[in-house]
């Protein structure tokens, strides 16, 4: 593995640096990209209230496990600006925690801020919460860079084996938009591309919220990385044809036994990958590991509104925003947002501390020895 300072790559939109979340120094507010409007419109939203933060997470203005963790932490700081009593702290923690159940980063960030401030006098709590949220943000940026460096080494090895270009498949969006830095699953891709390693990315559209089509394709385009959008169900065919060298996905929660909970459809890709000898790499920051759960079967799977399956949103030919029904009115629909891929189907876990081949080495990397 490479050593020294972690590599970094600027995330850009129209030549300008873009970040899913920013906080101007000294401001008691944060600014986020409204991800519901991408890729057609780039709209920023100021969050200056805990309820607004909660709604932004719930409605997926912001999404992606590490990003919702950071927004949750800032949301708690905003709540404490108004009332830092014990009761208000518990109520704000509960409100933010209830927004989305699956990604453990949200609970992790909220617990971290609460544990810190609960030990302080009421008058010192809000400032301490802002500082802690800033620390969570900065750590996530550093995690992305370190994780990206480790993933880059794996990609180099694969490229050296003669894959030119390297055909990578990804699912959902685990990019800069899902994090505070330049992503988890995409971080090695951005670095490899910046270093001239020829890449092509298969982007699966990711029904029903279309994070692949709307967000990952947008990000790859900003970076000039060749990519092709495919329907989710094309993955098996592409792998069987030998058109995929590696599948790289992010994670929303990883259990202690290495089971990986990620966007719905990941498990199908993992099965197709195993059947076709395609490696499946999971990129995960350590706050995504839930050591309290022995297996992935205990991870709560978010079920979202059926309407997200029954209607599809996009831009009409005349440029207007459109939302259309795709099934007969009254059709029953189910909308599970995540699935669990058993550890046996995962070839590599890429973390900020290095690469693990299995749950035991993941444990040793993160909990073994002196940390
Ligand atoms: O429902 P979302 O969009 O918040 O889902 C999160 C994701 O984008 C993914 O599952 C991702 O791979 C993990 S977050 C880096």
Whether the Cβ atoms of residue 76 and residue 57 lie closer than 8 Å to each other: no
Measured in Å, residue 88 CA sits from the centre of ligand 1 at 29
pLDDT in tens, 75-91: 999 999 999 999 999 99
Which mutation among 263, 269, 282 tests ligand 1's pocket best, with the greatest number of atoms within 8 A of CB?
263
Q: Above pLDDT 90, what percent of the chain?
A: 92
In this structure, the answer to whether residues 133 and 223 fall within a common structural domain is no
In this structure, the answer to whether residues 332 and 184 fall within a common structural domain is yes
Nearest C-alpha neighbor of 189 from the set 250, 114, 140, 139: 250
* Per-residue confidence (pLDDT) for residue 12, from 0 to 100: 62
Nearest CA to ligand 1 atom 15: 174
- Cβ of 211 closer than 6 Å to ligand 1, yes or no, is yes
User: Is 36 a residue whose pLDDT tops 60?
Assistant: yes
pLDDT in tens, 277-322: 999 999 999 999 999 999 999 999 999 999 999 999 999 999 999 9
- Whether 6 is in a domain gets the answer no
Which CATH number belongs to the domain containing residue 180 in this structure?
3.40.50.10470
- Cα distances from 241 to residues 169, 202, 237, 247, 272, in angstroms, run 13, 13, 6, 14, 11
pLDDT in tens, 145-163: 999 999 999 999 999 998 8
In this structure, the answer to whether residues 229 and 126 fall within a common structural domain is no
- Whether 1 is in a domain gets the answer no
58 is written with which tokens?
């719930």
Instruction: Identify any residues that bridge with 102 across adjacent strands, giving them in sequence order.
Output: none
Nearest C-alpha neighbor of 253 from the set 84, 100, 27: 100
Q: Which atom of ligand 1 is nearest to the CA of 175?
A: 15
* Per-residue confidence (pLDDT) for residue 2, from 0 to 100: 38
252 in active site: yes
- Cβ of 337 closer than 6 Å to ligand 1, yes or no, is yes
In this structure, the answer to whether residues 278 and 298 fall within a common structural domain is yes
- Whether 298 is in a domain gets the answer yes
In the block, tokens 């544990």 appear at: 115
In this structure, the answer to whether residues 233 and 351 fall within a common structural domain is yes
User: Is 351 a residue whose pLDDT tops 80?
Assistant: yes
59 is written with which tokens?
């409605």
* Per-residue confidence (pLDDT) for residue 328, from 0 to 100: 97
pLDDT in tens, 222-252: 999 999 999 999 999 999 999 999 999 999 9
In the block, tokens 């009254």 appear at: 330
pTM of the complete model = 0.95
- Whether 314 is in a domain gets the answer yes
In this structure, the answer to whether residues 80 and 133 fall within a common structural domain is yes
- Whether 4 is in a domain gets the answer no
Q: How many domains are contained in the chain?
A: 2
- Whether 114 is in a domain gets the answer yes
In this structure, the answer to whether residues 199 and 90 fall within a common structural domain is no
Whether the Cβ atoms of residue 13 and residue 220 lie closer than 8 Å to each other: no
Domain extent at residue 277 = 147-367
Whether the Cβ atoms of residue 203 and residue 220 lie closer than 8 Å to each other: yes
* Per-residue confidence (pLDDT) for residue 163, from 0 to 100: 83
148 is written with which tokens?
């990206």
Confidence category of residue 18, pLDDT binned at 50, 70, 90: confident
- Cα distances from 253 to residues 232, 258, 288, 357, in angstroms, run 21, 10, 5, 17
* Per-residue confidence (pLDDT) for residue 11, from 0 to 100: 62
The single residue of 81, 245, 252, 290 carrying the catalytic annotation is 252
Q: Above pLDDT 70, what percent of the chain?
A: 95
- Whether 217 is in a domain gets the answer yes
Separation CA 164–CA 170 (nearest Å): 18
- Whether 2 is in a domain gets the answer no
316 is written with which tokens?
């009409």
Q: Which atom of ligand 1 is nearest to the CA of 302?
A: 1
326 is written with which tokens?
């795709």
In this structure, the answer to whether residues 242 and 286 fall within a common structural domain is yes
Q: Collapse the DSSP code of 205 into the 3-class scheme (helix H, G, I; strand E, B; otherwise coil) and give the result.
A: coil
User: Is 9 a residue whose pLDDT tops 80?
Assistant: no
In the block, tokens 């599970």 appear at: 336
Q: Which atom of ligand 1 is nearest to the CA of 183?
A: 15
* Per-residue confidence (pLDDT) for residue 362, from 0 to 100: 97
Whether the Cβ atoms of residue 62 and residue 22 lie closer than 8 Å to each other: no
| The domain boundary residue, chosen from 90, 114, 140 | 140
Q: Are strands 16-17 and 12-13 parallel, antiparallel or unpaired?
A: antiparallel
Which CATH number belongs to the domain containing residue 17 in this structure?
1.20.120.420
Separation CA 163–CA 5 (nearest Å): 28
Separation CA 293–CA 320 (nearest Å): 46
Measured in Å, residue 82 CA sits from the centre of ligand 1 at 31
In this structure, the answer to whether residues 74 and 110 fall within a common structural domain is yes
pLDDT in tens, 129-144: 999 999 999 999 999 9
* First vs last C-alpha separation in the chain: 18
Nearest CA to ligand 1 atom 5: 64
Measured in Å, residue 263 CA sits from the centre of ligand 1 at 6
| Count of residues in the chain | 371
| The domain boundary residue, chosen from 140, 163, 186 | 140
User: Is 20 a residue whose pLDDT tops 60?
Assistant: yes
Measured in Å, residue 23 CA sits from the centre of ligand 1 at 22
* Per-residue confidence (pLDDT) for residue 237, from 0 to 100: 98
Question: Residue 321 is inside which H or E element, if any?
Answer: strand 321-325
**CB neighbours of 255 closer than 8 A, spacing ≥ 6?**
261, 290, 293, 294, 295, 296, 298, 299
| The domain boundary residue, chosen from 105, 140, 175 | 140
In this structure, the answer to whether residues 115 and 180 fall within a common structural domain is no
In this structure, the answer to whether residues 299 and 350 fall within a common structural domain is yes
User: Is 371 a residue whose pLDDT tops 60?
Assistant: no
- Cβ of 262 closer than 6 Å to ligand 1, yes or no, is yes
In this structure, the answer to whether residues 99 and 61 fall within a common structural domain is yes
Separation CA 175–CA 77 (nearest Å): 25
């Amino acid at each position: 593995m490479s050593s020294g300072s972690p590599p970094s790559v600027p995330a850009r939109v129209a030549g300008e640096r873009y970040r899913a979340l920013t906080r101007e120094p000294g401001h008691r507010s944060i600014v986020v990209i409204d991800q519901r409007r991408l890729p057609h419109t780039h709209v920023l939203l100021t969050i200056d209230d805990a309820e607004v933060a909660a709604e932004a997470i719930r409605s997926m203005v912001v999404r992606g496990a590490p990003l919702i963790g950071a927004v949750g932490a800032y949301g708690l700081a905003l709540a404490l600006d108004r009332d830092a009593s014990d009761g208000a702290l518990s109520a704000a923690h509960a409100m933010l925690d209830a927004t989305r159940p699956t990604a453990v980063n949200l609970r992790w960030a909220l617990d971290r801020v609460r544990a810190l401030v609960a030990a302080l006098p009421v008058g010192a709590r809000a400032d301490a919460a802002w500082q802690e949220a800033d620390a969570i943000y900065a750590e996530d940026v550093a995690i992305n860079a370190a994780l990206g460096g480790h993933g880059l080494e794996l990609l180099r090895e694969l490229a050296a084996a003669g894959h030119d270009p390297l055909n990578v498949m990804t699912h959902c969006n685990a990019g800069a938009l899902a994090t505070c830095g330049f992503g988890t699953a995409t971080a090695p891709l951005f670095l490899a591309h910046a270093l001239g390693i020829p890449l092509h990315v298969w982007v699966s559209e990711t029904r029903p919220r279309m994070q692949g089509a709307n967000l990952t394709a947008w990000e790859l385009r900003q970076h000039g990385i060749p990519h092709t959008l495919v329907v989710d169900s094309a993955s098996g065919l592409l792998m069987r044809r030998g058109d995929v060298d590696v599948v790289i996905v992010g994670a929303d929660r990883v259990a202690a036994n290495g089971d990986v909970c990620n966007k719905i459809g990941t498990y199908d890709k993992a099965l197709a990958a195993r059947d076709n000898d395609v490696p499946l790499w999971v990129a995960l920051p350590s706050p995504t590991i839930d050591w309290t759960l022995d297996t992935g079967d205990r991870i709560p799977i978010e079920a979202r509104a059926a309407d997200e399956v029954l209607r599809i949103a996009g831009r009409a030919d005349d440029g207007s925003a459109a939302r259309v029904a795709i099934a007969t009115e009254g059709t029953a629909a189910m909308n599970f947002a995540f699935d669990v891929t058993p550890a046996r189907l995962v070839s590599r876990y890429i973390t900020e501390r290095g690469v693990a081949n299995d749950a035991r080495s993941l444990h040793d990397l993160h909990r073994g020895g002196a940390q």
